[in-house]
Structure formats: structure tokens, C-alpha cells
Amino acid sequence: MCGIVGYVGDRNVYDILIKGLHRLEYRGYDSAGVALETPEGKLNIYKARGKVSNLEDFCKDKDLHASAGIAHTRWATHGEPSDNNAHPHYSQDGRLALVHNGTIENYKVLKDALIEHGCEFKSETDTEVLVQLIEYIKITNKCSLIDAVREALNQVQGAYAIAVLEKDHPHEIIAARKSSPLVIGIGKDEFFLASDATPIVEYTKEVVYVKDGEIAVMRKGEGLKLLTLDNVEAQIDVAELQLSISQLEKGGYPHFMLKEIFQQPETLLDCIRGRVVDGGKTIKLNGVEDNQEVFKNARRIIIVACGTSWHAGLLGKYLIQEMCNIPVEVEYASEFRYNHPVLFDDDIVIAISQSGETADTLEAIKIAKRHGAFVYGISNVVGSSIPRETDSGTYIHVGPEIGVASTKAFTGQVMVLTMLAMCVGRLRGVLSEEKVEEIGKCILEVPELVKKVLELNKDIERLSAIYTYAKNFLYLGRGYSYPTALEGALKLKEISYIHAEGYPAAEMKHGPIALIDAEMPSVIIAPYDHLYEKIVNNVQQVKARGGSIIAIVSEGDNEISKIADHVLEVPRVPECLTPLITSIPLQLLSYYIAINKGKDVDMPRNLAKSVTVE
Ligand code: F6R
């Protein structure tokens, strides 16, 4: 959610910033801007509404020479997407330029006070308040920029990652963070700065993740300096970046989303590597092994997450209740944080997040910890905030997910939850050795089975053409296929903008059945499982009302196949593994319908990948 890039050093500053903004565009893309400081100390700011390519067009005839620069791609929170509201923002006297990711909650109070002191504002953003406040403190206290930044940050409430340039300081960037990610790349006589490591990876592998409440001082020719908000020097922990450039490119696919859908055989293999061992007899998850007593004694598990990760969490409930016999509650992190959660110290809270930065999930974790619960994280991005905030956890290891619609992260999350349920189930004596081996063996086959499902690609592309007309879709499933239905509906609506609802198939008769007519297709997820006979009835109920049906069924199905208008057959697997298989055709169906409608699937309107605001 909003991306920040910065660079100070001898390379072409503008090129680094623009390339970095393209890498971060998945975080927001309604406007973009750069602030360039010339070696002579002059500050130039260029901004444009829309994507980074618009900014590039705008900058074509501008003075781009610079020794330091900061840049931003925005996902609007305060103020509509416009040139004026785009970052960077100038301070009143034009001596400071600032980019910001996050939200300043008390911006109104601060703004009113600054207006009283004669400040004039050019934008509607909370960010401009921050840069004006820094300038005001700097002038009033006659202090350095670092002191003014520190003082200002001590006055603001909310979340931020910021980077600031000061006129006449052509070789320096000041940055800071609280609850919004920021990483610094260290080169020879140069520094890179970004919201995540993707803009940095081709220049250096040495990175420092700025911690909450730290201010970073990057001056060419000097070592990195980190200060706390109390003005104490903080320790610098340099980490090695585990990321390659090829992971950030489309690799011949027209879109990241399609690449990521097709990567799933490998990403699932990466996810289970070293974890499903002895031919499937043993499941090894360090996070569980290191905390055996906690998992043995847990009385309840609460899963917190948002969006697709919440759907994975709902599947986690089905898996854990079946395999571990522990009651599980699944909460939207945004609700959990405000619904007066009742927690006990033998509760485990599992937080699921691809990005590891989702603001609501992070806050839910903090609340859970305050209540004394043990918090386990399931994340993809190594070194992100959620793995750092949690007591223990597991990475899904599916590589960078760049398409805004989550695909490979979803299957990775479900796979980790499956392994976790098996591990804990075995530990608590609910799952027998034989059962673990039976499921474990099938898990090892899942990557190959997913490859087989992907062979449906052309059929799904053809099928999508028939249904692109639809204005509404219903997705139905029961048991493990119910959360899968929710996820299928979310995928369709977020990238094609078609209204789609997921429902438990049996619940349909209590209301949504009224929607069904010849114009409203239903996607029914009905692999062979213990509810198969039940869902056959639901399929008939849809058919009887003239609705058309796309059914995802197991190979060899001969009941639903006769009723449905279109059938996609997928390999048979044990019931608990069906979501890993049935979610794949749903991803492809959404992708092709969105493509047929001419939508930008990697950057759907109004969305951003990493939601670091409330
Ligand atoms: C949907 C999607 C979002 C995210 C949600 C949580 O395709 O990507 O719904 O799942 O914003 O994000 P993370 O998992 O990063 O916490």
C-alpha cells in the first residue's frame, strides 16, 4: 500500500527510482512522483496522476540530474488520486520534500494548529501535514532536520514509513518507520531505500530492515546511522537478501497472475520441501516442534487474517478441527481488533498474511500478545513485520507474489495449515501414524496433480468466453469446498469487477436461490467427499430454476456431470486436500474472464497488494 523508493550515491538516481517504482507499483498505482536533489542542492519535484508510466511521460523534458532522490507510488487514503495529492510533498518554504506510506491519525488536530501558525496547505493529504510539521519544528527550534523529524514523529499518531530530502543537503536522505515497512540496501558509498527489497535486489544483497520507531540517516561517504525516537543510537543488523531478479519478472507470461498460477506445482513443492519427509510418514514444522507443549495444551485456536488469507484461515479451521480436535474460531483481523476479544493464556492465535505487513492483522497480533496468547504466524515475505511480531511461525516459501490477486500464496497457506494440522494432530494423539502417512503420501503427489489440473488451461479459456457476459455469479460448495467457493468468488470480483458471491451450497435455499435465473451462472465445487450426495441435491435445485452450472468435479464423476452445463474434472485426492486442487480452475476462470473483459488483472482498480492502512 503505497511504495517508497530512495537512492543516494553516484548512479543515475532517476533511473533507479523509476525502476524501483515499477517494482513497487503492485502496492498502489493511482499517482506517482519523484523528488530529485541536484548535486548543487536544488530540489525538483515531479508528480503525475495514474501509473508510473504517466510520470515517466511527464518527466521526459525535465531536469533529471541528481545526487539523491526519493519517489512514491500512491494508493489514495486522504484525498482523491490527483497531481496535487500525489507525493512527494513540499514544505511551505520548499526546503523539504517528503514521501510517506501509512496514515497519520491525528493529522486534523496537527493541521488546524499549523494553519493557526500561518501554514498553507496545497493538498488534502495527511502527508503534507507531516512535512509542514517537520519544517515548523525545524524553524521554531532552530534545529537540524534529524531533530525536527524526531520531534515531529513523537507528536504523530498512526503508521508511517517516510523519506525526507532537504534542500542544500544533496547527499543525504533521512527515513523512519512505524508499522509500515522500510528496508535499506547498503552499497559501496551509496544507499538504497524501499518499502520492500524488490527495487534493491539488483544492486546489493546487503540489507537492513528498519525497525519500528527507528530513524535512519543515509549520507554518502558515511556509514548508516540508526537512531531511536529517544535519540539513542540503535544497533544495525545487516541481513543477506534471499531474492533473485528472475523471481520478479514475468518469465514469458503475459501477466504475473498467470505466471503465479502456473508456478504452483513448484511453489507447493518448495512449501513442503523438508517438511513432509520419510515418504510422507513424518511432518516436520519447526515452529510446532519448538513449541510442543503450547500446542499440546492449547484449549482453543483463533485464526486472524484478511481477504484471501482469511479464506485460507477458514480452511485451517476445517483442517484443525478434523485432525486435532481443537475448537477453532476464524476472525477477520479488522473485526477482531475491535470486538473486545476474550482470550485466555492457553489460546493460540494464528495470524495468516502473505505480505506479512497487513495493518489489521498486525494490530490483531499485538492485541493477542497483550492478552497473553501465544501467536503463530504464517507468512510469505521473509523478514516482514508479522514474522517478527509473532512468537513462532512458518513461512509458506512460495516466492514473491506480485499479481495483486493472490493465487500461489493461497495454496501455500492452505498447504502450511494442512501440515500444521497434521503435526499438531499427531502430537495430541488425535491423528494416527497410519493416517499421517496416508495423507502425507498424497501431499507429496499434490505438485504433480496441480500440474495435471493446469492442463485444463485451454478448456477454461474457451469456457470463459461463454460466461464473460454475466453480471453476477454464485459460487457454491460444502465442507472444504465452501471456503474454496468464497475464494473463487473473491478472485472473480477483484479482477473482472463482476459481482460474485460465495455461499455454502445448502444455505442457498435460505435466500440466494431467489437470484437464480438463466442470466446467473453458478460455479459449483463438488469433488468426491463425504458431502457429495448432499451437494448433488443442491445442484439439482439450481438446475430446476433455470440456472446454468459450471461444476468442478472429481475425475470419473457421473452424477453432477450429467446435470451441469459445463464440467471441469480434477484428480481425486483425500477430502482435506481438495481445496489445493479445486482452487486452481477457479483461479484460471477468473483470469480469463477478466482478460476477455479487457481488465488489468495484475493491477485491478482500487486495489493494492499490501494493505498497510487500517
Ligand atoms: C485477494 C488478496 C487480498 C489479500 C488481503 C490480505 O486476492 O490478495 O484479499 O489476501 O489483503 O493480505 P495479506 O495476506 O498480505 O495479509
Task: Kindly report, residue by residue over 411-432, the tens digit of the pLDDT.
Answer: 999 999 999 999 999 999 999 9
Residues 38 and 119: their CA atoms lie apart, in Å, by: 27
**Is 609 tagged catalytic?**
yes
* CA 607 – ligand 1 centroid, Å: 10
Q: Using CA positions, which residue lies closest to atom 4 of ligand 1?
A: 307
Q: Which residues contact ligand 1 via a Cβ below 6 A?
A: 306-309, 353-355, 358, 361, 405-406, 490, 494, 610-611
Domains identified in the chain and CATH numbers: 3-246 (3.60.20.10), 250-453 (3.40.50.10490), 455-600 (3.40.50.10490)
Question: What is the distance in A from the centroid of ligand 1 to the CA of 263?
Answer: 18
The pLDDT tens digits for 287-331 are 999 999 999 999 999 999 999 999 999 999 999 999 999 999 999
Give residue 179's pLDDT. 82
Calpha distance 316→414 (Å, rounded): 7
Kindly state the cell numbers that stand for 461: 479459456
Strands 549-554 and 566-570: parallel
Does residue 382 carry a pLDDT above 90?
Answer: no
pTM: 0.86
Residue from 2, 119, 271, 423 carrying the catalytic annotation: 2
How many angstroms separate the alpha carbon of residue 491 from the centre of ligand 1?
11
Confidence grade of residue 1 (pLDDT, cut at 50, 70, 90): low
* Mean pLDDT score across all residues of the chain: 94
Please say whether the dihedral angle defined by the alpha carbons of residues 385, 388, 391 and 395, taken in this order, is positive or negative: positive
Taking phi over 0 as left and psi of -120 to 50 as alpha, with beta for the rest, 85 belongs to alpha
> How far, in Å, from the CA of 257 to the mean position of ligand 1?
14
Among 26, 75, 256, 306, the mutation site with the greatest number of ligand 1 atoms within 8 A of its Cβ is: 306
Distance 292 CA to ligand 1 centre (A): 29
Residue 189: which pLDDT band, with cuts at 50, 70 and 90?
very high
CB of 283 within 8 A of CB of 275? yes
pLDDT band, residue 532 (cuts 50/70/90): very high
Query: Could you tell me how far CA 587 lies from the centroid of its own chain?
Result: 17
CB-hemisphere CA count at 13 Å for 275?
Answer: 26
- Atom 11 (ligand 1): residue with closest C-alpha? 307
CA distance 448 to 38: 55
- pLDDT-above-70 percentage for the chain: 100
* Nearest atom, ligand 1, residue 355 CA: 15
Residue 77 has φ and ψ, to the nearest 5°, of: -120, -55
pLDDT tens for 39-66 read: 999 999 999 998 899 999 999 999 999 9
Ramachandran category for residue 251: left, alpha or beta (phi over 0 → left; psi -120 to 50 → alpha): left
Residue 247 pLDDT > 90:
no
The set of residues, in sequence order, having a beta carbon less than 8 Å from that of 510 and lying 6+ positions away, is none
Residue nearest ligand 1's atom 9 by CA? 307
Question: In degrees rounded to 5, what are phi and psi of residue 53?
Answer: -60, -30
- Give, using CA atoms, the residue closest to atom 10 of ligand 1: 308
pLDDT per position as a tens digit, 372-381: 999 999 999 9
* CA-based nearest residue to 225, from 185, 324, 343, 233: 233
Residue 342 has pLDDT above 90, yes or no: yes
Query: CB–CB of 396/257 below 8 Å?
Result: no
